[in-house]
Structure 1
Amino acid sequence: MFDLPAESVYVWFGVSVVSVAVLGVALSLPTTTPAATGPLTTSIDRVAASPYNATGEHPVSADRIKLGSQRVATETGDTVSHSTFSYGPITPVSRGTALWRVLQGAPPGTVFDTARSFEQACIEARETPATWRPAPRRLTMRKLTWEGVNATLVSA
């Protein structure tokens, strides 16, 4: 009368296995908030991945930004977030340069004499070390192909 049914051992074993599995899942969940740069990176990647010439804008809600050819970082107060581009490298463009005029909509042929000079300007912009700058209200992006030179220009 006080004996345990034979299947109760299997039930306890099954409950133990399930409990360990649930504990493993709970411990593997991230404990930090997702990076604030995620939506920004996604917008840049969408423009860069386009099979056609494309443009886009994305609002920036950060104090400072560091835009490199492979990744972006934002700083708001004491919080710094980093993200890497899936469709890099991109070309960070500084205000007042010839690439800036192309980013703003000028055809590359009106700004550069040859496709080679356009390509060289893009290479130099990508190789410039990224530095922290005051964040603009929005980033502008433009993907274009001109005489075989592909570039994704992003305002820095």
Structure 2
Amino acid sequence: MFDTHVDTLYVWVALGAVSVAVFGVVASLPASAPPDATTAATTVDEVATSPPGSVATHELDAEEWTLSGRAIGLRADGGVAHATVLDPYVPALGGRLAAVLAGAPPRRYFRSPAALGRAAERARTADAEWRPAPERLRVRHVRWGGVDVVLAG
């Protein structure tokens, strides 16, 4: 007597629409979390506030990255994450700055501290673009003459 009849067309159509909507929401959720840009920025900040000669590395879980003088961006299947660093750093993504970042003495690649400073300023002000990310971020604090820079790449 108090039974409901669930055989009406409207109920079945509504149930189908709700099922499709729920499936769409579940299917659109990312399979993994976005990369952690904050810990990468913390690594840069730690080296920047450490004495010259300090070096640190940080494992990256991103497919692509972008480095500017004040921020780090990481992108993966789970999304995009950005973090701002406290002290400006120099993106050393290639050339002589990358060699110094890898551990070479600056005098091997630059004639003077002023030349290192000019190269650092050019790299710091260059347009940031998305690039394939390496497995780890490397950061090095370099002081030569009157030039004090933090290289990251």
Same fold (TM over 0.5): yes
CA distance in 2, matches of 1:106, 1:123: 19
Partner deviation per Cα, 1:16-71 (whole Å, 9 max, x = no partner): xxxxxxxxxxxxxxxxx997211111111100111332111111001110111100
**Which position in structure 2 is the counterpart of 1:91?**
90
Displacement after TM superposition at 1:73 (Å): 0.7
CA distance in 1, matches of 2:82, 2:35: 7
With over 3 angstroms needed to count, the CA separation of the structure-2 counterparts of 1:65 and 1:34, relative to structure 1, is closer
- Moved runs in structure 1, 4+ residues, more than 2 A? none
Q: Counterparts in 2 of 1:25-104, with a 5 A limit?
A: 36-87=36-87, 89-95=88-94, 97-104=95-102
**Structure 1 portions without partners, runs of 5+:** 1-32
CA distance in 1, matches of 2:50, 2:96: 23
With normalisation by structure 1, the TM-score equals: 0.73
Contact 1:54 1:143 in 2 (8 A): yes
1:60 counterpart letter in structure 2: L
Contact 1:35 1:82 in 2 (8 A): no
SS of 2:62's partner is: coil
**Which position in structure 1 is the counterpart of 2:26?**
none
**Structure 2 portions without partners, runs of 5+:** 1-32
**Which position in structure 2 is the counterpart of 1:125?**
123
CA distance in 2, matches of 1:149, 1:70: 18
How many residues are treated as equivalent by the alignment? 121
